[in-house]
């Protein structure tokens, strides 16, 4: 059994992450699950009750045993690396307060994995998606709605949750929007005229009244539009256009960043527009360019044949 002193410690750490570190609810919940999974293994491994003091006597052998157990039950290297990061953060936090040496935990090597690159659409494909979505809807206002949402993802680089969080108070859309993204991080995003026009057209056709506190984007029964509905719309568009499964709503945001970078956009500016906390996250888009360049090289260079 995990002792109350340890679960209370976990709760305090998570609360501080959210209050001071600005972690989003989903991130906090993922960290909780990762650390609880580790503590559950440790309890079984030790064969008895597990209290806060158990963290002070963690060894490299115990850490390796946990990682081997996780890989043995099918956890991917990427997921295990995330769990290890959460465990390290938690143990470091406790060590700073209890005064023990957390080196065996902090020096545990993360499993290697190949980072997934963003998979944007080509410019023509992104435009075709917008045209197909609008033309393929059963009702005119629904098509205008779907096109407006995707225009915000592609034209402004919004996450789908950010686009769907817009309310009547944001209408008519200004030249720039103040967006609250992951972890409560705020950013200013310019709104392209085409995206503003798409939203205005949708709102003119929408059969539901939209008060200042109401979600702008509505479902066919009048409730707030769900992300799943836009995912289904995108699934239909990619089937019609013969696009790969990677052509998701989030791929429109990837396309926004990649197409800006291809046009000479500054990486720091793109980082700000996307709301990335770290530049390293945005730098993944430069890797996309390099990968695409190598594909062209391999296909065209005489020595590559």
Please identify every residue annotated as catalytic: 159, 182, 250, 253, 276, 285
Preceding amide of 84 cis, omega within 30:
no
DSSP-derived 3-state class of residue 210: coil
Question: How is residue 215 annotated by DSSP?
Answer: B
* Sign of the Cα pseudo-torsion (166, 172, 173, 176, in order): negative
> Can you tell me the distance from the alpha carbon of 104 to that of 160, in angstroms, rounded to the nearest whole number?
41
> Can you tell me the distance from the alpha carbon of 233 to that of 79, in angstroms, rounded to the nearest whole number?
29
> Can you tell me the distance from the alpha carbon of 275 to that of 272, in angstroms, rounded to the nearest whole number?
5
> Can you tell me the distance from the alpha carbon of 102 to that of 223, in angstroms, rounded to the nearest whole number?
50
How many Cα atoms sit within 13 Å of 140 on the Cβ side? 6
Tokens of 189: 């995003």
**Could you tell me where the beta strands, DSSP code E, fall in the chain?**
176-180, 186-190
Q: Helix, strand, coil % (nearest 5) of the chain?
A: 65, 5, 30
Of 156, 204, 145, whose CA–CA distance to 181 is shortest?
156
Contacts of 250 (CB under 8 A, 6+ apart): 153, 159, 160
> Can you tell me the distance from the alpha carbon of 100 to that of 219, in angstroms, rounded to the nearest whole number?
54
Tokens of 186: 């705020």
For residues 84 and 110, the answer to whether their CB atoms sit within 8 Å is yes
């Amino acid at each position: 059994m995990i002792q109350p002193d340890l679960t209370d410690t976990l709760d305090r750490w998570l609360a501080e992450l959210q209050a001071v570190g600005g972690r989003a609810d989903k991130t906090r919940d993922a960290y909780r699950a990762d650390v609880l999974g580790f503590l559950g293994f440790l309890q079984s491994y030790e064969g008895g009750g597990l209290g806060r003091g158990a963290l002070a006597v963690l060894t490299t052998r115990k850490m390796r045993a946990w990682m081997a157990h996780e890989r043995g039950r099918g956890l991917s290297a990427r997921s295990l690396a995330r769990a290890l990061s959460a465990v390290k953060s938690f143990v470091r936090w406790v060590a700073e307060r209890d005064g023990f040496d957390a080196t065996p935990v902090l020096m545990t090597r993360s499993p290697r994995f190949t980072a997934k690159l963003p998979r944007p659409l080509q410019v023509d494909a992104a435009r075709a998606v917008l045209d197909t979505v609008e033309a393929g809807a059963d009702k005119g206002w629904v098509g205008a709605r779907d096109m407006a949402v995707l225009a915000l993802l592609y034209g402004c680089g919004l996450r789908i949750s950010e686009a769907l969080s817009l309310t009547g108070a944001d209408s008519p859309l200004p030249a720039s929007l103040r967006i609250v993204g992951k972890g409560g991080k705020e950013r200013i995003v310019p709104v392209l005229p085409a995206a503003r026009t798409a939203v205005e057209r949708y709102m003119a056709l929408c059969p539901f009244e939209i008060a200042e506190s109401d979600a702008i984007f509505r479902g066919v029964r009048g409730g707030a539009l769900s992300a799943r509905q836009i995912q289904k719309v995108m699934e239909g568009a990619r089937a019609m256009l013969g696009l790969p499964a990677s052509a998701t709503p989030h791929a429109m945001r990837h396309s926004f960043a990649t197409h800006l970078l291809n046009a000479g956009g500054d990486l720091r500016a793109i980082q700000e527009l996307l709301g990335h906390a770290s530049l390293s996250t945005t730098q993944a888009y430069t890797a996309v360019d390099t990968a695409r360049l190598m594909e062209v090289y391999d296909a065209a260079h005489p020595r590559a044949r």
